């Protein structure tokens, strides 16, 4: 069996791999490390949440 290179997988590919191979603890830990390194956004009000949600939607729309 060939060892997979998790570092070259996209987040979506790695997430899918972990979803369908839950026994692969190495892949799981790499995915969790990636997610932990992402910036965190804390919203305290509904308005802040809606603003952040709209910002993310706009970013996705612009990337398409």
Per-residue confidence (pLDDT) for residue 46, from 0 to 100: 94
Q: Can you give the pLDDT at residue 40?
A: 85
H or E element: which one contains 46? Answer: helix 46-63
Q: What is the pLDDT along the chain (64 residues), one digit of tens a residue?
A: 567 899 999 999 999 999 999 999 999 999 999 999 988 888 899 999 999 999 989 998 888 7
Return the SS3 of 35: helix
Domain map (residue ranges) of the chain:
6-63
pLDDT value for 26: 96
CB count in 10 Å sphere of residue 18? 20
- Residue 20 CA to residue 25 CA, distance in Å, equals 12
Number of H helices, E strands in the chain: 3, 0
Distance from the first to the final alpha carbon of the chain: 37
- Which pLDDT belongs to residue 64? 73
pTM listed for this prediction: 0.62
């Amino acid at each position: 069996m060939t060892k997979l290179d998790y570092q070259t997988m996209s987040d979506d590919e790695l997430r899918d791999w972990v979803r369908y191979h839950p026994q692969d603890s190495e892949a799981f830990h790499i995915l969790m490390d990636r997610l932990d390194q992402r910036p965190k956004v804390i919203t305290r009000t509904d308005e802040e949440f809606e603003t952040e949600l709209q910002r993310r939607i706009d970013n996705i729309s612009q990337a398409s």
